[in-house]
Amino acid sequence: MKYPEAQITTDYWYNKRGWLDSLESQYTIVAPKIFQQKLSYDSVGRIVKQESKNGGQGSWLVQGYEYDGVDRLQKWSRLGVGDTVLYEYDKVGNRTLSARIDGQDVRTYQYGAPTSGPNRLEWSRQEQGGVTTRTDYGYNLNGSIVERKVTDPMAIPLPTLLSEDHFGYSYRELNWKYQNGNPWENNHWDWRYRYNAQGEREQKRLYHGPLPDSIVGQPYPWVQYLLGGSKEQLAVWHGQQMSGPFCDTAWRRNVFLYPTEYLTNGIGWNGVHEDLTPIITKPDGSKEYRISDHLASLRASLTPGISTKYYDYDPWGNVLGGGTVARRGFNENEKDRENGLFSLGVRKYEEGRFLSIDPLFEKEAEISPYVYAGNAPLNYVDPDGMQRKETNNPQGYRGMQTAVDKPGATFPNPSLSSDQWSKIMASAEKVAFMTGMNTGQILDLWFNGSVASSASETLQDLTGKTLEEAQKILEGAGFKDQGTTEGGYKKWYHPDGSRVQIRPDGEIVRTGPKVEPAGGGTKYRPRIGPDGKKIPQDAPHNTGETVTK
């Protein structure tokens, strides 16, 4: 895509499977880099590493991701900073544990009660920096959270209430009311929300505050959204509600509205129209140019001659480093500052979980209806709260705005219709089942004539992992446990011909499928290093990749 006025271009590169390999945004004249991103995948298409760098960083930010056997995010790490967080889930995806390995932030979750249901979060407990808090939840009959109370369970003699939130819902189960504080006392906050016929929010306003709107300097804020036919925001107006003699001699209540943003919407990859905003025009004529990553999350915003801001996120949408939160940031969705929740279409979202059930939960009945993006937030998005979408889906790649393929990206073919792709994918899945290969490898063979990389090459570095951790990673990458030899070698084989052995001393030996030497002769299995590159046959045997005992 190209922004002529700001003279900014963003280039995208794809691997042979048509997945985003990297992107780069820069000015076209002096060519300083604004934002760069590189993605690495395992053999089944899951993002295992993200490298990013913006104009304000001296080095690359490297984030690593590991998954369990059903593709749920199990471990997130931020290299060079020391952040490593582990996640655990129950059988249907409800998160039961979130813990930093240094013990600085540990959260546990309890689900189900005789009067509710197995997927409703009853309470959570957080231990952070020596402070312990507990949050209890209450629900309506439709399974939406209507009450959230935070207490200090360690207080003596009884737990102390720290804060309370209350939520109200319409007959369509849209959140139309949010109250902070005791609603039966006058010193609470009360926000109201209004939606259009398609379930998209078109207004929010402060309905009640601790102080009345008749006090000078205490107006009640309004936000009005002008929406298009595809539910996209076209303009945003802010307002101030006031009453009293300083705004009307008759003591009438008035709302004074004024424009703050005019949004130029983008077109998603392959012509899919979505609520993406690469350009925002301010009332004074200045323009804000927005650079997004593969999830459509805002990574850089530039107003030439005025300001440049950068953003980095953890997997669930929290801004890293305590930075400023943009109005539209994670997944290009709006975060409400009054309650800290994201507004994702028909549902509210907090870290890793929705406050109400998925209206289309029957489509994925095996997953809890409260889970966000199948607990794989790097590989899926759910921008409207209705159904998760693959980030590498050729029919709707949310992060790409009017992207142009680079040479070599022969798959997927944008000219194919959705119905044609459905038939191709169904056939690929059948062939994959019969051959033991995965769907991505079958598509590689059909469209490119060869499989791009073997499982041994795309397998993440196992150095420093325990044997149990290595086994989970291998199983998640499609390797099958073949037992232990008499000499104590543990073996894992992959359907594509890749093999991994762990010696008794912990050294890992990984080999790829058999290949024929360049000059002909007997086929052999090339050794693979922990970086995924083939090792010359005459190189030293030990690669330095070992597991801990």
Which helix (H) or strand (E) segment is 428 a member of? helix 418-435
Span 297-307, mean pLDDT? Answer: 85
Read off φ and ψ for residue 304, nearest 5 degrees: -50, 130
pTM above 0.95, yes or no: no
Given phi > 0 = left and psi -120 to 50 = alpha, else beta, which region is 421? alpha
Residue 412 has pLDDT above 50, yes or no: no
Nearest to 74 by CA among 87, 93, 89, 92: 87
Distances (CA, A) of 432 to 95, 184, 325, 512: 31, 60, 43, 19
Q: Is 172 exposed, middle or buried (0-12, 13-18, 19+ CB in 10 A)?
A: exposed
Q: Which structure tokens are listed for 496?
A: 């594509």
Residue 410 has pLDDT above 60, yes or no: no
* Region of poorest pLDDT, from 78-82, 274-278, 466-470: 274-278
Paired with 319 in beta bridges are 313
The string of pLDDT tens digits covering residues 168-214 is 999 999 999 999 999 999 999 999 999 998 889 999 999 999 998 88
Read off φ and ψ for residue 323, nearest 5 degrees: -70, 175
Of residues 269 and 536, the one with the higher pLDDT is 536
Going from N- to C-terminal start, the domains of the chain cover 2-390, 418-448, 455-528
The CATH topology of domain 455-528 is TATA-Binding Protein (3.30.310)
